[in-house]
Amino acid sequence: MDRRRVLRGGLLTGGGAALTLLTGGGTALAEPGRGTPALLGRNRPRLTHGVQSGDVTAREAVVWARSDRPARMLVEVSRRPDFRHAQTLRGPVLTPDTDLTGRTFLHGLPSGAEVHYRVRLADLDHRNVSEPVAGRLRTAPGPRDRGDVRFVWSGDLAGQGWGINPDLGGYRIFNAMGAVDPDFFLCSGDFVYSDGPLRETVELPDGRTWRNMVTPEKAAVAQTLPEFRGQFRYNLEDAALRAFNSRVPLLYQWDDHEVVNNWYPGEILDLPQYTEKRVDVLAARARRAMFEYTPVRTARSGRLYRRIPYGPLLDVFILDMRSYKNPNDANGSPTQTHGLLGAEQSAWLKRELRRSKAVWKVIAADLPIGLIVPDGTAQEGTAQGDGGVPLGREREIADLLSHARRHRVRNMVWLTADVHYTAAHYYDPSKAAFSDFDPFWEFVSGPLNAGGFGPNALDGTFGPQLKFVKAPPRANTSPAEGYQFFGDVGIDARTATLTVHLRDIDGRALHTQALTPRR
């Protein structure tokens, strides 16, 4: 039976001491070892930006929240939407050190099930408890439990001067993404534009006026830690995004605009709007803000690349192509071995791909493989433009693809955003300058709410064949014209067929590609 309709058995457990919910209405709480429950007072803490969940697997999940003051995070968890028989987990104390954000880690969840959670905040003296904010998530199928899987992906939010426009429904693409009823959202990066100040009004080509909601942090480029934090808070002011977050778990990946356009480690900026010129300093502040504001499981280690197992049909490999990137130049070295992933991440990816037993291996890349992405006279992306043997960063990808072929790693699908349009690319070794790899697909879809651009030219090194493209008519086309896109992936439990739909801002399918797995 479909796991979307049937809840499987299992225990809900969490780290730390449990709190006992005394009344169905949630008006009183008691802590183990204390007698009288604390009644709610008028001066309660408040959840400021909704709730989020993320990095959900068959048995685990992360729940995120933010408070308006120092408070203890409490998370009720139940398999029922009425929270009957809920267990309440004691989460961390939210303090100014993390901008009053925090995460609670859930363990021992039932696999293949819909799980409901509800977050409250308790004052540190336990005399006042906030109103709850509810969310839900679906756990992945268990290792031997084949269930249908469906997820969406995209990237680029509030870029190129296009922020939250209440007149047009704000970030309304999240309404269309939510209507797909996905198991999770794979964010392909640029989920904030720390280098993209907003103006209150922008004149559009057709004479209309675009009106941005603007906060102090969005009026200039981000340089300090509070300013980077403000980039994330800004996006969470949007009602459509908050509603989506409460229903759909997040798998988060970053790219360049979380820090500054086209950045790489060690870069020194030559931009007059920045007083802090050292990109490494900016990146460290941005990374901290990112981990504070997203439900990423690996935040404690500081590592972004990770594998999310999603039952026997799917493993998601989330890459970090920004933290280990080499400087942007002509990208034509005939000898370099790394330029995007770095030695440690490359070794990890090869090892995890070999170990994966999942039918499909989705590679979440924050940069496309075969598209030429210039950075002035230098190259920002993988491709370097001559269509010949692998050079520069292409050599790292060539090594990975060859390794996968030698070790019979089947059914890789690459997903990305970055270039602000949507497309489907088939990489064909018979038409490539470098052919030591098995054919694979790459799908591009975005932006969520940013300027539309493209299309970019393809580099023939890995033989990419353009099967579909939808791009705006001019550079930096506003979201008001509708050139905003996301992708939708479904995997059928019975046949293991993976189907990709490329969709527009209203959820209309523009292109559909069904892929049959190789055995």
Tell me if residue 322 falls in helix, strand or coil.
coil
| Total domains present in the chain | 2
For 362, other C-beta atoms within 10 Å of its C-beta total 25
Q: Rounded distance, CA 479 to CA 211, Å? A: 12
Instruction: Please report whether residue 318 resides in a domain.
Output: yes
Q: Which helix (H) or strand (E) holds 293?
A: helix 279-293
The pTM score is 0.92
Domain termination site, one of 92, 108, 138: 138
Instruction: Based on the fold, state whether residues 387 and 340 are members of the same structural domain.
Output: yes
- Contact 101/292 with Cβ under 8 angstroms? yes
Reduced 3-state DSSP string for 61-96: EEEEEEECCCEEEEEEEECCCCCCCCEEEEEEEECH
DSSP code string of 417-479: --SSSEEEEEE-GGGSSS--S--EEEEE---SBS-B--PPPBPGGG-EEEEEEE--SSTTB-G
Instruction: Please report whether residue 143 resides in a domain.
Output: no
Q: Rounded distance, CA 89 to CA 173, Å? A: 33
Around 433, how many Cα atoms within 13 Å sit in the side-chain half-sphere? 15
Domain termination site, one of 85, 107, 138: 138
Bridge pairing between strands 314-318 and 464-470: unpaired
Instruction: Based on the fold, state whether residues 77 and 110 are members of the same structural domain.
Output: yes
- The reported pLDDT for the residue numbered 29 is 32
pLDDT for 449-493, tens place per residue?
999 999 999 999 999 999 999 999 999 999 999 999 999 999 999
Cα 180 off chain centre by: 17
pLDDT for 162-213, tens place per residue?
999 999 999 999 999 999 999 999 999 999 999 999 999 999 999 999 999 9
Quote the tokens at residue 156: 């680029």
State the CATH number of the domain containing residue 109: 2.60.40.380
Instruction: Please report whether residue 235 resides in a domain.
Output: yes
Instruction: Based on the fold, state whether residues 370 and 504 are members of the same structural domain.
Output: yes
Residues 6+ apart with CB under 8 A from 25: none
State the CATH number of the domain containing residue 156: 3.60.21.70
Domain termination site, one of 104, 138, 172: 138
Instruction: Please report whether residue 7 resides in a domain.
Output: no
Instruction: Give, as one character, the DSSP assignment of residue 157.
Output: B
Instruction: Based on the fold, state whether residues 17 and 77 are members of the same structural domain.
Output: yes
Instruction: Please report whether residue 1 resides in a domain.
Output: no
Instruction: Please report whether residue 144 resides in a domain.
Output: no
For 24, other C-beta atoms within 10 Å of its C-beta total 10
Instruction: Based on the fold, state whether residues 127 and 268 are members of the same structural domain.
Output: no
Q: What are phi and psi of 45, to 5 degrees?
A: -65, 165
Instruction: Based on the fold, state whether residues 117 and 161 are members of the same structural domain.
Output: no
Q: What are phi and psi of 449, to 5 degrees?
A: -160, 85
- The reported pLDDT for the residue numbered 13 is 36
**What's the rounded mean pLDDT across residues 273-280?**
98
**What's the rounded mean pLDDT across residues 480-507?**
98
Check residue 266 and give left, alpha or beta (phi > 0: left; psi -120 to 50: alpha). left
Q: Where are the alpha helices (DSSP H) in 294-393?
A: 342-355
- Of 49, 487, 55, which Cα lies nearest the Cα of 253? 55
Identity of the amino acid at 172: R
* Residue-averaged pLDDT of the chain: 92
Instruction: Based on the fold, state whether residues 393 and 495 are members of the same structural domain.
Output: yes
pLDDT for 373-389, tens place per residue?
999 999 999 999 999 99
Instruction: Based on the fold, state whether residues 132 and 212 are members of the same structural domain.
Output: no
Instruction: Based on the fold, state whether residues 156 and 130 are members of the same structural domain.
Output: no
Q: Rounded distance, CA 91 to CA 67, Å? A: 13
Reduced 3-state DSSP string for 5-69: CCCCCCCCEECCCEEEECCCCCCEEECCCCCCCEECCCCCCCEEEEEEEECCCCCCEEEEEEECC
Instruction: Please report whether residue 483 resides in a domain.
Output: yes
Instruction: Please report whether residue 8 resides in a domain.
Output: no
Instruction: Based on the fold, state whether residues 133 and 155 are members of the same structural domain.
Output: no
Question: What's the domain range around 254?
Answer: 149-515
Instruction: Based on the fold, state whether residues 89 and 49 are members of the same structural domain.
Output: yes
- Contact 411/447 with Cβ under 8 angstroms? no
- The reported pLDDT for the residue numbered 43 is 87
Instruction: Based on the fold, state whether residues 184 and 246 are members of the same structural domain.
Output: yes
pLDDT higher than 80, residue 30: no
